[in-house]
Every structure is written in structure tokens, then in C-alpha cells.
Chain A
Amino acid sequence: METDSRNLVAAIRQSLPRAAWWAVCASLAVLFLYPLYVMLSQSLKTPGEAAAAPPTPYPHRLSLDNFRALGGDTGIDIVASAGNSLLVSLGATLATVVLSTVAGYGFARLRFPGSNILFYATLATFMIPFQAVITPLYLLLNNLGLQDSLLGLAAVYTTFQLPFGLFLMRNSFAAVPRSLEEAALIDGCGILKALVRVVLPVAVPGAVTTALLTFFSCWNEFFAALILITDQDKFTLPVSLSVLASGSFGSVDWGVLQAGVAVTIVPCVVIYLLLQKYYVGGLLSGAVK
């Protein structure tokens, strides 16, 4: 009898931390999801209900009007814009990941005189407000013949994502114990082979994080896309959405805006879910033995 109740108490005490953990995590999750719920419900309301005061907690009548408005009877092709965004974001992401991985390894392992200074100098890229360099950038792209081109935009995005990627990848490579590399080198691999076989798998989480963040930044970026792209056919998604969601005089069509945001989020979530597998997988398998 006593052992039973003691077991029960022990069982409860054992499961308390777990219950507490679940309670805390779940309440936080509600807090985090609430704004997204608001966004979704707002986008599915009829335009009249979307402007209601006080606001309705959920759409009383589901309506796709706001999404239809995105379809654009106004010459804005949202599918084309999404395609442009995809091209630019993927291009910049791949370029950033490749360049920062390669350079990150160089900075971490293959020191040369001045490498430290150069590395910290690249961080300067992050310390300038974009608004300050946008006009010189515009003129530069003009001179290079890259004005109004998605390639130019992708190049600009890559440049401004590089510092973060470099920092992250350098950190990742630096965290790999030299002993591992030395072992591989002694076994007769060249530097590149050592990189691929031994070091790269451990750097995968960092690379995936860099890829994710670069993609999201490029996908959502508005100001550079606005100034550097002039042809409406080449507008990226944020610019097109801004046009579609605006009323006159800075007034905002809240329903259409939220519908646009909802549409924007979907590819990001998909990419996150896809890459999350590699990310977690990399963590588990890349554990240092």
C-alpha cells in the first residue's frame, strides 16, 4: 500500500517537470500563433467585415474576396512576381551559402596575413543602413548595366547577406576540433577532400541556417527591390503586394494586405519544413565522435 502511494508520488513528481514543460511550451505557442491567426482570419473575412469595429474574433462568413483581389485585375501579375521573387531569392541563397561556406572555411582554417582584418572588415557591410547606400548602389548598377535586372538585385542581396553567413560558417568550422582534420589529412586526403569528408557534415546546420535566413530576407525585402527594379514585369512579391494592398492616400486595405502576407508566408514555411529535416539530421549525425 505504502509502496503504491510512494510510487504514485514518485510517478507524479517525475511527470511534473514534463507536465510543466508542456504547459509552458503550449502557452508560449498560443502567444506566438495568435498574431498569425489574426492575419489568417482577417484575410478570410469579407472586406466589409474586415473593417468592422469592434473586430469580429473569427470570420462569420468565409470569403476569398481578398485573395481574389490579389489575382490582379490591375495589371499586376502576382504569380509572375512570386516567380521573380523565387528566382532572386534562390539565386542569392545559393550564392551566399556557397560563398560563405568556402570563405568561412578559409577564414577559420587557412589563415593568411590580414585574414582577420579582412574578416572583420566584411562586417562593416552590416553596419550601414541600407537607405544610405541605395542611391550610390543604383548608380553603380547603372554603370555595370545591371539596372532593372533581377541578376543585379540578386547580387546586391548576396552581398548584404554574406557577412552573416561568413560569421556563422566561420564559427561552425572553428568549432570542429583540429584533431579531426589533422587525422583526415594524415590519412592522405588533400585539403578539399578533408573539407568535404570530414568538416562539411558538421557545418551543415550552419549552412542550412544561412540558407534559410538568406532566403527569408531576400523573399521579404522591399526597399531595394523597389528602387532597383523599374519594370513592372520584374517586380518582386513585396513590391507587388504593396501596390495591391494600398488604397489612396496611404490608406490600407487590411483584408487584402493580410491575404498577401498569408500568400507570402507559405513558400517560406515550405522551405523551412524541407530544410529542417537536414538541419536536425545534421545535428544528430554530425555529432562529434
Chain B
Amino acid sequence: MTAPHRRTLSRGGRRRLTGIAMTTPALAMITLFFFVPFVMMLWMSLHDWPLLGQHRFIGLKNYRHALHDTEFRTAVIFTVKYTLVTTPVLFVLGLALALLVRHKRRGARFFQAVYFLPVVVGLASAAFLWLFMFQSDIGPAGDLADHLGLGSRTTNWFAGSTSAMLVVVSMVTWKVVGLQMLLLLTGLQSIPTEVEEAARIDGASRVQTFRYVILPLLRPTLALVLVFSVAGSLLAFDQFYVMTGGGPANSTITAVYEIYRTSFIRFQLGYGSALSALLMIVLAAVSATQLLLLRSSDR
């Protein structure tokens, strides 16, 4: 009587155990090399912890200070502004490129490789490259603008907050859009062509097919792309450190840049940790929202 019952249970149980076994190595690694330092960081955030010297437990004082810190607040606002500009640009362009190279035409793979090429350049290297390109007087981009009548060789592209940010956005777009294109391509390729063809046969226009058939099936990929894109933008640092140095007049300092200054220039590791914890809470909330909104209905 109980025999078939037991067999089903053990099968499900075996699946679960295998699941646990399969996920354990990755989880173990993340626990050891991330969660342990993370907890240490939280512990540090409750202290006045200079890089060198004695530590002092001060409870939540760092967090209280952070909420009144105007420099940090300005940095966060700028970071949000930057994210709001970069994310749609990257996504729209990435999607456009993916749709372009999706065709099975002869040049498609070549163009796909070309658009992906900047991804293999390191972020700091790309930042230095574009910093050089847009220098007044010795930069080729300024020179090109001069020849094309779009600007003068002596314009300092980094002297205005907006123009400085836009140069950085352009650099990041150039470097990262190929990756988004690739990820979206993977997502697009996993949609069986029969589904698309069926929609077209039913009379849907290309745009309609895209909106009602492709986009919903693309949701998991969209979630992946957007979550990491937004996270990457909210955590932006290297590109501003190299290209604008936080300027002009500290107007392009991002949240992580401020954390870097706190921890590594003012050597206040405790306060820096508190700021990081706050930033993470923001990020987690934003990511959770994104995942909820983009959750696939058939799960």
C-alpha cells in the first residue's frame, strides 16, 4: 500500500538532494569569499575604523552621519542621473544591434564581431583611450570635430558637467553595448522561429510580432540585461576616476567614487563601509523591483 508512495517521495527527494549537491560548490565559494568579508564590512561600519590605528565601536553613528552627508547625497543623485541616461541608451542600442545582426546574411557575423570588439578592452583602458581622444589640442576626437565643423580643437569637453558626463556615457556605450547585443541575441535565438513565423502568417506586422510575441518571450534575458546594466551604472567608478577625476568642480563624483575617497583618501574605512552598506540596500531594492516587474508569468 505504501510502496508506490515511498517510491515517488524518494524520487523527489533524490532530485532535491541532487539540487542541493549541485548548488553547494558555488554557494560555498560565494559564502566564503563574499559573505564573510561582507559581514566583516558590516562589522567595520559600526566602528570608527581608520586604515591605520585604533578602532572604536560607535554603533550606528556612521549611518546617522551618512544621512546628513551632503557630499554623499550629491554623489548619489548624480549616480542616479547617470544611470537614468545610460540604461535606456545601452538597452535600445543593444537591442537595435541585436536585431540588425540577427539576419543570416553574409556580413552579419563580421559586424557582430566588430560591435563586440570593444567589450574585450578593459574599462580603465577604454577610459584612458577616450580621455586621450577628447583632450583639447592633442586629442583626435577634438581634431575630428574641428575638421567636421562640429566644434573647435580648443573646446574642453570635460569642462562642463553635462558634456563631461556625456563623453563618459559615450565611452561606456561604446564599450558595453556589444555585450548587451550578444546577450539579447542569445535570448532572441532561443525563441523558436516557428513561433515568429506563426505570428507573421497570422498577419501580424513586424512591429506587432516584436511587441506581442518576441518581447514577452525575451523577458528572462531582459531581466538579466537590465539588472546587471543598472547595477553596473549605479556602481560606476573607474570611468569617472580616470576621465573626469570627479570634476569639473566635483560634479561628476559617483557614489562609489565618494566611497573610494572616504576609504582610501581619507582612510576612514568604518564610514566607507557604512556608505557601502547603504548603497547596497538601494541597489538591492532597485534590483528586486526590476525582477518583480520582469518576472515571467509562466514559472
Report A-B touching, CB under 8 Å.
yes
Residue of A nearest to B256 (CB): A129
Q: How many residues in A have their beta carbons less than 8 Å from beta carbons of B?
A: 95
> Of residues 1 to 55 in A, which have CB atoms within 8 Å of B's CB atoms?
18, 21-22, 24-25, 28-29, 31-33, 35-36, 38-39, 42, 51-55
Give every chain B residue within 8 A of A42 (Cβ-Cβ): 132
- Complex: how many Å from CA A222 to CA B288? 30
Contact mask B112-143 → A, CB, 8 Å, 1/0?
Answer: 01111111111111101110110001111001
A133 with B38: in contact, given A25-B100, A162-B26 (CB under 8 Å)? yes
Answer yes or no: A112 CB below 8 A from chain B CBs: yes
B283 — which chain A residues lie within 8 A by C-beta?
127
Minimal Cβ-Cβ distance residue in B for A272: B120
Q: Does A205 contact B (CB under 8 A)?
A: yes
Chain B 31-70 interface residues, beta-carbon cutoff 8 Å to A: 32-34, 36-38, 40-41, 44, 51
In the complex, the chain B residue whose C-beta lies closest to that of A129 is B256
B149 within 8 A of A: no
A238 touches B114 (CB 8 A): no
Given contacts A51-B138, A159-B29, contact A110 B19 (CB under 8 A): yes
Q: Is there contact, CB below 8 Å, between A171 and B224?
A: yes
Whether B243 is near chain A, meaning CB under 8 Å from some CB there, is no
Q: CB of B272 within 8 A of chain A? A: yes
Q: Which residue of B lies closest to A168 (CB)?
A: B224
Q: How far is the CB of A181 from chain B (nearest CB, A)?
A: 12
The smallest C-beta distance from A70 to any residue of chain B, in angstroms, reads: 14
Chain A interface, DSSP helix/strand/loop, else mixed: helix
A216 close to chain B: CB less than 8 A: yes
* A124-B280 in contact given A118-B27, A283-B189 (Cβ < 8 Å): yes
Given the known interface contacts A159-B33, A254-B132, the answer about A118 and B23 at a Cβ–Cβ threshold of 8 Å is yes
Residue in B15, B130, B146, B276 whose beta carbon sits within 8 Å of that of A132 in the complex: B276
Collect the chain B residues with CB atoms within 8 Å of residue A273's CB.
Answer: 113
A280: Cβ under 8 A from any B Cβ: yes
B149 to chain A, nearest CB (A): 15
Instruction: Report the Cα distance A10→B183, complex, angstroms.
Output: 36
Contacting residues of chain A (239-289) with chain B, CB-CB under 8 angstroms: 252, 254, 257-258, 260-261, 264-265, 268-269, 272-273, 276, 280, 283, 287-288
B220: nearest chain-A partner, CB-CB: A171
Is B273 part of the binding interface, using a Cβ–Cβ cutoff of 8 Å?
A: yes
Closest CB-CB distance, A120 to chain B, in whole Å?
8
With a cutoff of 8 Å between Cβ atoms, the chain B residues found around residue A235 in the complex are none
Distance in angstroms between the alpha carbons of A158 and B31 in the assembled complex: 12
**How distant is the Cα of A274 from the Cα of B106 in the complex, in angstroms?**
19
Within 8 Å of chain A (Cβ to Cβ): is B4?
no
Indicate if the CB atoms of A35 and B284 lie closer than 8 Å.
no
In the assembled complex, the Cα of A125 lies from the Cα of B15 at a distance in Å of: 27
Q: Any chain A CB within 8 A of the CB of B251? A: no
Which residues does chain B contribute within 8 Å of A54, judged by CB atoms?
Answer: 137-138, 143, 146, 153
A-B contact count (CB 8 A): 251
Name B30's contact: one of A18, A122, A206, A265 (CB within 8 Å).
A122
Contact with A along B237-265 (1 / 0, CB 8 A): 10000000000000000011001100110
Chain A residues in 8 Å Cβ range of B143? 54-55, 57
A136, CB-defined interface residue at 8 Å? yes
Contacts of A232 in B (CB 8 A): none
Of B82-90, B159-167, B196-204, B227-235, which stretch is located at the interface? B227-235
A55 touches B122 (CB 8 A): no
A209 to B139, CA, bound (A): 34
> Are B259 and A129 in contact, with the CB atoms below 8 A?
yes
Q: How far is the CB of A79 from chain B (nearest CB, A)?
A: 19
Given contacts A209-B186, A238-B124, A264-B125, A129 and B237 within 8 Å (CB-CB):
yes
Question: Are B228 and A164 neighbours in the complex by a CB distance under 8 Å?
Answer: yes
Determine how close the nearest CB of chain A comes to the CB of B138; give it in whole angstroms.
4
Residue among B97, B114, B291 with max Cβ neighbours from chain A (10 Å)? B114
Is A106 at the interface (CB under 8 A from chain B)?
yes
Partner of B15, one of A123, A160, A191: A191
Task: Give Cα A280 to B104, complex, Å.
Answer: 11
A106 contacts which of B19, B105, B125, B237 (Cβ < 8 Å)? B19
B16 touches A264 (CB 8 A): no
Q: How far is the CB of B52 from chain A (nearest CB, A)?
A: 11
Contacts of A268 in B (CB 8 A): 120-121
- Pick the contact of A269: B120, B224, B280 (CB < 8 A): B120
Closest to A138 in B: B37
A288 to chain B, nearest CB (A): 6
Are A109 and B26 in touch, CB under 8 angstroms? no
Question: Which residues of chain A in 107-152 are interfacial with respect to chain B, using CB atoms and an 8 Å cutoff?
Answer: 107, 109-113, 115, 118, 120, 122-129, 131-133, 135-137, 139-140
Q: Whole-angstrom distance between the alpha carbons of A64 and B44 in the complex?
A: 49
A86 at the interface (CB under 8 A from B): no
Q: A264-B122, A264-B125 are in contact. Are A29 and B114 (CB under 8 A)?
A: yes
CA distance in complex: A122, B125 (Å): 29
Say yes or no: is A82 at the interface (Cβ < 8 Å to chain B). Answer: no
A/B interface sample: 9 pairs, CB < 8 A: A21-B103, A105-B22, A106-B20, A118-B23, A127-B235, A131-B272, A261-B121, A261-B122, A276-B109
New A-B pairs, 4, CB < 8 Å, besides A133-B34, A220-B125: A33-B114, A112-B20, A136-B36, A155-B29
**Ranked 3 nearest A-B pairs via Cβ:** A110-B19, A220-B122, A106-B22
